[in-house]
Amino acid sequence: MSRLGVVCGGSRGIGRAVAQLLAQKGHRVVVVSRNQEAALGTAESLPGVAHVGLSCDVSREHDVQSVFETITSTCGPVDYLVNAAGIIRDALLLRSKSEDIGSVLHTNLLGSMLTCKAALRSMLSKGGAIVNIGSLVGMKGNAGQCAYSASKAGLEGFSRSLAKEVASRSIRVNLVAPGLIQTDMTAGLREEDERRRIPLGRFGQPEEVAQAVLFLLETPYVTGQVLLVDGGLHLAL
Ligand code: NDP
C-alpha cells in the first residue's frame, strides 16, 4: 500500500537516501529542506509517482506549521515522518558561542519536536510512523560536540516519551542512531584516520541508514526503539 512520507532534511545525505528508498518502495515522498531548489531537485530525481519538494526551516515554528498545512492540503494526510534535518557546530564548550549552541539545539531537537507535533495532527485518527535520526554521540558523548550530543540525547528521550504518548493511537516512534556515515556532514573527517576505531572498518553509506529507517517505518510491532547503525563503533567507545 502506498503511503505519504515526509522526509525533513531530505535534500542531501541520509535524508535523501531515505527519500530514494521510500520512493523505490512505491511511496509518495515530500522532501523538506531550507534550500527550496535542492528539495525540489531531489524530489524530481526520485522514481515513481510525482513527489514534492518544499522549503522549510524546521527550527522555526511558523515555517513548520505552514509547510505541514501545505502538505496536508495538497498531498493528503501524512503516514510517515522522518526527521533527518540536522547540523553540527563543533567546538569545545569553553569556545562555543551561545548562538551556535542555540542553532544546534533548535534545529536538531526543537525542530524534530515541531515537525512531530505538526505531523501528529494527520496521524491521530489513522495511525502513522515516525523515525527520528539521533546519533551514537547522543549516547556516548564526544569532546567538541557538547551541543550536538545534547541535542541527540534529548532527541532520544523525546522519542521514547512520544512513543508512550501516542501508542494508543497506533502511532509508532523510533530512533535510528548512526555512527560515522559518509555525507557532507562528515566531509571534514579523514576516513583513513577514523576507520581503525570502527569494527567493520569503514564509514557507513547513507543507503545503509535508510534501510534501518525503512525497517522501523514498516515494522508494525516496534515502537520506542533505538537502533544503532554504526558498524559496531559503540563496541569500541
Ligand atoms: P547533511 O548535512 O548531509 O544533510 C542535512 C540535511 O538537513 C540537508 O538536507 C539540509 O538541507 C537539512 N537541514 C539542515 N538544517 C535544516 C533546517 N533548519 N531545516 C530544514 N532542513 C535542514 O547531513 P547528514 O545526512 O549526514 O545527517 C542527517 C542526520 O543524521 C542529521 O540529523 C545528523 O545529525 C544525523 N547523523 C549523521 C551522521 C553522519 O555521520 N553523517 C552520524 C550521526 C547522525 P538544507 O541545508 O537545505 O536545509
183 lines ligand 1 (CB under 6 A): yes
Active-site residues, by number, are 148
Q: What is the ipTM of this complex?
A: 0.99
159: CATH: 3.40.50.720
pLDDT in tens, the chain (237 residues): 899 999 999 999 999 999 999 999 999 999 999 999 999 999 999 999 889 999 999 999 999 999 999 999 999 999 999 999 999 999 999 999 999 999 999 999 999 999 999 999 999 999 999 999 999 999 999 999 999 999 999 999 999 999 999 999 999 999 999 999 999 999 999 888 899 999 999 999 999 999 999 999 999 999 999 999 999 999 999
**Residue 36 structural domain:** 4-236
DSSP-assigned letters across all residues of the chain: ---EEEEET-SSHHHHHHHHHHHHTT-EEEEEES-HHHHHHHHHHSSSS--EEEE--TT-HHHHHHHHHHHHHHT-S--EEEE-------B-GGG--HHHHHHHIIIIIIHHHHHHHHHHHHHTTT-EEEEEE--HHHHH--TTBHHHHHHHHHHHHHHHHHHHHHGGGTEEEEEEEE-SB-SGGGTTS-HHHHGGGSTTSSPBPHHHHHHHHHHHHH-TT--S-EEEESTTHHHH-
Say yes or no: CB of residue 51 within 6 Å of ligand 1: no
Residue 122: CB within 6 Å of ligand 1?
no
Question: What is the domain count for the chain?
Answer: 1
